[in-house]
Amino acid sequence: MLLLRAIGLMLLLTMAGLTPSKAAEADLRATIAKFAAATGFSATEAVVRELAASGDPAVERPLSALAAGNLYIRKSDSQVFVGKEAGDGIELLDPLSGEETADAAKADLTKIKVNNGLRRTIRDALGTLTLRAKDASVRLAAAATMFKTPDAANIEPLDAAIAAETDPGVKTLFEQARAASVVVSDKPEADKLAAVSIIAARGDRDALSLLTSVDANGQGAVKDAAAAAIGNINSKLALWDAGQNIWYGVSLGSVLLLAAIGLAITFGVMGVINMAHGEMVMLGAYTTFVVQQVIRTSFPGLFDWSLAIALPLAFLVAALVGLAIERGIIRFLYGRPLETLLATWGVSLVLQQAVRTIFGPTNQEVGNPSWMSGSFDVGQLAITWNRLWILVFALLVFAVLLYVMKRTAWGLQMRAVTANRRMAASMGIRTQWVDALTFALGSGIAGIAGVALSQIDNVSPNLGRGYIIDSFMVVVFGGVGNLWGTLVGAFSLGIVNKFLEPYAGAVLGKIVVLVLIILFIQKRPRGLFALKGRAVEA
Amino acid sequence: MRGNFAKITKILSAGVVAAGLLASASAKAAEDTIKVGILHSLSGTMAISETTLKDVMLMLIDEQNAKGGLLGKKLEAVVVDPASNWPLFAEKARELISKDKVAAVFGCWTSVSRKSVLPVFSELDNILFYPVQYEGEESERNVFYTGAAPNQQAIPAVDYLMSADGGSVKRWVLEGTDYVYPRTTNKILEAYLKSKGVPAEDIMVNYTPFGFSDWQTEVSAIKKFGSAGKKTAVVSTVNGDANVPFYKELGNQGVKAEDIPVMAFSVGEEELAGLDTGPLVGHLAAWNYFESVDTPENKKFIDNWHKFIKNDKRTTNDPMEAHYIGFNMWVKAVEKAGTTDPDKVIDAMVGVSVPNLTGGYSTMMPNHHITKPVLIGEIQADGQFETVSQTPGLVMGDEWSDYLPDSKDLISDWRAPLSCGNFNVATGKCGGKGTN
């Protein structure tokens, strides 16, 4: 969709100077007018094909408008227009020139319906039309489309495009697209063999897909060549698959780390079994939602900054709530783990229902800023930006937390209080306030984890529920009271999970991981990195 | 730790029960009203979907009262909160029937909650209206199923994908959440696809846990499965909360509807409200109602809904229409029977016909399922669905699937001489068993 729009924009720019000759324009207009009489997708598709067959670049505007669902028929005179939303009504633009002609209410217009099949047809048609576009990225997109939809008729325009192409990257893609079309054509076997080797050199899933159908439909040497190439690509892809599992595991690990790291402080360092931890994450996510809401209504230009703005606010909100919980409830319950567990469970229910009452029970939409959308390829590995940023962010949070714990006076006090409360008190540390601030810190960290998790998960009152078990698992597995243990625990659980998933399925994979952890805890009750000394006895 | 945890959840749920009992004690009212029970979760995981249904019931009851009530009496809603806790559904149902003496109950969402209340409804002989699409393989005398059976949703959806308009799909991924509805639906679909000549290696079935949020592996498996040179589609029975991360991952990994369309059975306007639908345009859903359907009845319904809920951004969806149909059917049946006595109303229900919101009439069939049109819609950039295909006529709900070996001989007919929900036509006996 975006791609089409981009193509449209590019073409607009490139064609600014071009206007079709009068006679050709009249023909095009006559064809476009047929949309009004076309009923059903197949009739519309016939008109699209007719327009595409004209080979005139001017048809790009109505076609991409149609693909985007912006082509309208005026009910009064059956004229076809490109529509643009303008307030309550729709601004009508001329389908060829793009000039504004009139406004109309939605009720006076019929939208021409499109479905996936039509969008595909239009995409293919635009592919051929945009082979000679000035912008290299448009040509790249055209080549990619033509590679996926090989057709013997494509060979001729591609030959011409290859001859005129100067960009080596685009040229390679054109040649691959040509090869794809050659293997489905009735060219001699030698040509097809050459084409198969060009496609095989590409070595990705699209090539594999194409070669599989060649293998299924081809004969003789071509079939053999395709089969050999498939074998080659598959063995290469198997390696990439392993790499992909590691990346997915690391990515899942970063999410687990983010969710668990606040708990590593409240549970790991302070020893409080905090069942409301997940709700702190949820509060962070809802803070992000509120920030984005304000930005959407008042400062739309700042949207890409929304997460940066939400971070400190989410930390504050969650930390303040955490502080209130500690001062109001938990401080009376130190040393009574069962009561703490019950009380914090109750708090979690209260917080959930409060959010449900204020924001409603349904999911709230938290948008991805542009720098967190989409993906890029490393070899055959598609890495999505949001996962990558979350990994970076998780490591950053971890580093900062480690610094605070190990290198600041406050961190020293925190560790002193948890190691030996009475000794710390007699050294003049206000243990009560250290407790409160430590709990607030853990909650605040959970809050900023919520900002990141809002990018990949539902923002609903149940958000925290999904993470609480996993968080405890990570902290217990990694070793209570040890931040490094949490890091290693999160990543190893993530990677094990993702290696099991393709073979065992997500459901069984999770069970296997749980069983492994139970066995592990039997062997080493204090987790991976057991803290030596008094802290563990508490 | 784990043992304690289980004990604690038990203590907690007991607490919730006690709180719920207190809350419903306030629902006392004057004698000359007809009480209608509403059994939808207002807290817990299912609140996200069920709260809306509670609201729409309150609106329908308000509207009926504005029209003068029923049999000269006012209707009164009794709302209870089963808190997404399946055993609590049964307790709350019992309380509605025995203590509040409701004339009928509208409620439940998940199949497990429905299964949990079934014995209560047959023991105390009351009526349940169940508004959600489900896996079939059930027909009870006391339950009226106003949502879609598999043949009113899943089968037409697959037919569409197989047609030229839908892209002549040859390879299928059946992706679902791991519980009874997706498992049974996929069993039916697998049998159906095989009966249409799809070879086993062209079908991939995969399940994920409830609330699953890390879809990277699954989406790349779908991409991999789709690169075998045949047109591929995903049929998704992924439930509720897990959908948002699923669609986000699809968008981010660049799975486009033109290449691999995803046909969903549990994604409606409500679920899309939490999503940026830009990258999802063209993915599909099969329902019996879309908010975008352009009929006067639907426009009036949406206007009333916005007025009632005081928020014109709130969407309407298929289960809401099911309650609309179910409630109107019940009103009509009560008027026909001249009493709210459940036994008489149950008999009067069969054959009752009321307008639905898509411009036709829905009729209650003898198997306690209704007739509905089936619509296939594509997701639009504004979060609505655009109907791209509609069954030519109404489709009658088929409770016992013809594609499962255990249930293909079973029929259900609750009218007088037969009066059986699982009559086996092969053996001529009542009491067959389905696949579940």
* A279 in any annotated domain: yes
The answer on A119 and A184 residing in a single domain is no
Checking DSSP bridges between strand B33-39 and strand A381-384, what pairing results, if any?
Answer: unpaired
Contact by Cβ (8 Å): B236, B260: no
Cβ–Cβ below 8 Å for B276 and A367: yes
The answer on A108 and A149 residing in a single domain is no
The answer on A478 and A388 residing in a single domain is yes
**% of chain B with per-residue pLDDT over 70:** 92
Q: Which two tokens stand for residue B213?
A: 């949020």
d(CA A139, CA A271): 60
Contact by Cβ (8 Å): B349, B329: yes
Contact by Cβ (8 Å): B274, A365: yes
The order of strands in the sheet holding A100-104 is A100-104, A89-93, A80-86, A71-74, A109-111
Checking DSSP bridges between strand B262-264 and strand B203-208, what pairing results, if any?
Answer: unpaired
- Closest residue on chain A to B253 (Cα): A375
Residue with tokens 């669902």: A69
A141-167 pLDDT, tens digit per residue, is: 888 888 887 888 888 888 888 888 888
Question: B105 pairs with which residues across the strands?
Answer: B37, B128
B118-162 pLDDT, tens digit per residue, is: 999 999 999 999 999 999 999 999 999 999 999 999 999 999 999
Q: Is A281 helix (H, G, I), strand (E, B) or coil?
A: helix
The answer on A273 and A152 residing in a single domain is no
- Sign, Cα dihedral of A77, A81, A87, A88: positive
Pick from B11, B42, B276: which is nearest to A365 by CB?
A: B276
Task: Tell me which of A130-139, A260-269, A390-399 is least confident.
Answer: A130-139
Q: Of A93, A123, A153, at which residue does a domain stop?
A: A123
d(CA B221, CA B216): 9
The answer on A284 and A182 residing in a single domain is no
Q: Is A16 helix (H, G, I), strand (E, B) or coil?
A: coil
pLDDT at position B268: 87
Contacts of A362 in chain B (CB under 8 A): 48, 51-52, 270, 273-274
* A392 in any annotated domain: yes
d(CA B330, CA B328): 5
Task: Tell me which of A121-135, A458-472, B193-207, B345-359 is least confident.
Answer: A121-135
Pick from A212, A375, A466: which is nearest to B254 by CB?
A: A375
pLDDT at position B9: 52
Q: Which two tokens stand for residue B329?
A: 């059917």
Cβ–Cβ below 8 Å for A502 and B227: no
Residue with tokens 């009036």: B300
Question: Which residues does B366 contact at the CB level (< 8 Å), separation at least 6?
Answer: B350, B412, B413, B414, B415
The answer on A357 and A482 residing in a single domain is yes
d(CA B147, CA B153): 10
Cβ–Cβ below 8 Å for B217 and A148: no
* Helices (H) then strands (E): counts for chain A: 20, 7
Residue with tokens 């730790």: B1
Q: Of A123, A147, A165, at which residue does a domain stop?
A: A123
Cβ–Cβ below 8 Å for B386 and A69: yes
Angle between helices A168-184 and A189-202 (to 10 degrees): 130
The answer on A62 and A8 residing in a single domain is yes
When divided into structural domains, chain A yields a total of 3
B74-116 pLDDT, tens digit per residue, is: 999 999 999 889 999 999 999 999 999 999 999 999 888 999 9
* A229 in any annotated domain: no
Closest approach of A56 to chain B, Cα-based (Å): 24
CA–CA distance from A254 to each of A396, A490, A495, B13 (Å)? Answer: 11, 7, 10, 33
Domain hosting A173: range is 131-218
∠ CA B50-B56-B58 to the nearest 5 degrees?
Answer: 110
The answer on A425 and A291 residing in a single domain is yes
CATH number, position A505: 1.10.3470
Checking DSSP bridges between strand B262-264 and strand B284-287, what pairing results, if any?
Answer: parallel
Question: A102 pairs with which residues across the strands?
Answer: A92
Contact by Cβ (8 Å): B129, B105: yes
Q: Does B386 touch chain A (CB under 8 A)?
A: yes
Q: Of A89, A105, A123, at which residue does a domain stop?
A: A123
- Closest residue on chain A to B206 (Cα): A505
Cβ–Cβ below 8 Å for B165 and A115: yes
pLDDT at position B435: 55
Strands (E) located in B3-84: 33-39, 74-80
Best interface-test mutation with A: which of B9, B46, B48 has the largest number of A CBs within 10 A? B48
d(CA A114, CA A72): 11
Q: Which two tokens stand for residue A143?
A: 């080549």
Residue with tokens 């809920």: B309
d(CA B111, CA B266): 13
* A234 in any annotated domain: no
Cβ–Cβ below 8 Å for B165 and A117: yes
CA–CA distance from A465 to each of A286, B45, B112 (Å)? Answer: 15, 9, 20
HSE (CB half, 13 Å, CA atoms) of B121?
A: 29
How confident is the model over B258-277, as a mean pLDDT? 86
A443-457 pLDDT, tens digit per residue, is: 999 999 999 999 888
Q: Does B266 touch chain A (CB under 8 A)?
A: no
Q: Does ipTM come in above 0.90?
A: no
The answer on A255 and A305 residing in a single domain is yes
Closest Cα partner for B156 from B285, B14, B313? B285
d(CA A247, CA B255): 19
Q: How many CB pairs under 8 A join A and B?
A: 174
Best interface-test mutation with B: which of A120, A214, A458, A491 has the largest number of B CBs within 10 A? A458
Closest approach of A30 to chain B, Cα-based (Å): 26
pLDDT at position A288: 95
Instruction: Examine the pLDDT at A477 and tell me if it is beyond 50.
Output: yes
**Domains parsed from chain B with CATH numbers:** 2-148+296-372 (3.40.50.2300), 151-293+375-391 (3.40.50.2300)
* A202 in any annotated domain: yes
- The number of angstroms, rounded, from the C-alpha of A407 to the middle of its chain's C-alpha atoms is 36
Helix, strand, coil percentages (3-state) for chain A, rounded to 5, are 75, 5, 20
Closest Cα partner for B399 from B130, B209, B71? B130
Model confidence, pTM: 0.83
Residue A277 burial (10 A CB sphere; 0-12, 13-18, 19+): buried
pLDDT at position B29: 43
The answer on A146 and A211 residing in a single domain is yes
Mean residue pLDDT of chain A comes to: 86
Contact by Cβ (8 Å): B406, B434: yes
Question: Please, what is the end-to-end C-alpha distance for chain A in angstroms?
Answer: 58
CA–CA distance from A147 to each of A140, A141, A212 (Å)? Answer: 11, 10, 14
Closest approach of B220 to chain A, Cα-based (Å): 9
Contacts of B4 in chain A (CB under 8 A): 338, 341
pLDDT at position B113: 93
Residue B264 phi/psi, 5-degree rounding, is -110, 145
The answer on A310 and A421 residing in a single domain is yes
Q: Is B379 helix (H, G, I), strand (E, B) or coil?
A: strand
d(CA B84, CA A508): 25
A394-446 pLDDT, tens digit per residue, is: 999 999 999 999 999 999 998 888 888 888 899 999 989 999 999 999 999 99
Closest Cα partner for B172 from A16, A147, B403, B159? B159
Closest approach of A427 to chain B, Cα-based (Å): 35
* A227 in any annotated domain: no
What's the DSSP call for residue A364? B
Strands (E) located in A297-411: 375-378, 381-384
B288-334 pLDDT, tens digit per residue, is: 999 999 899 999 999 999 999 998 888 999 999 999 999 999 999 99
Task: Categorize the per-residue pLDDT at A341 as very low, low, confident or very high, splitting at 50, 70 and 90.
Answer: very high
Q: Which two tokens stand for residue A49?
A: 């094909």
* A225 in any annotated domain: no
The answer on A18 and A135 residing in a single domain is no
- Rg over alpha carbons for chain A, rounded to the nearest Å, is 30
- Rg over alpha carbons for chain B, rounded to the nearest Å, is 22
Contacts of B11 in chain A (CB under 8 A): 342
- Closest residue on chain A to B258 (Cα): A116
* A469 in any annotated domain: yes
Pick from B254, B271, B282: which is nearest to A116 by CB?
A: B282
Pick from B178, B254, B274: which is nearest to A362 by CB?
A: B274
Q: Does B45 touch chain A (CB under 8 A)?
A: yes
Pick from B221, B259, B381: which is nearest to A502 by CB?
A: B221
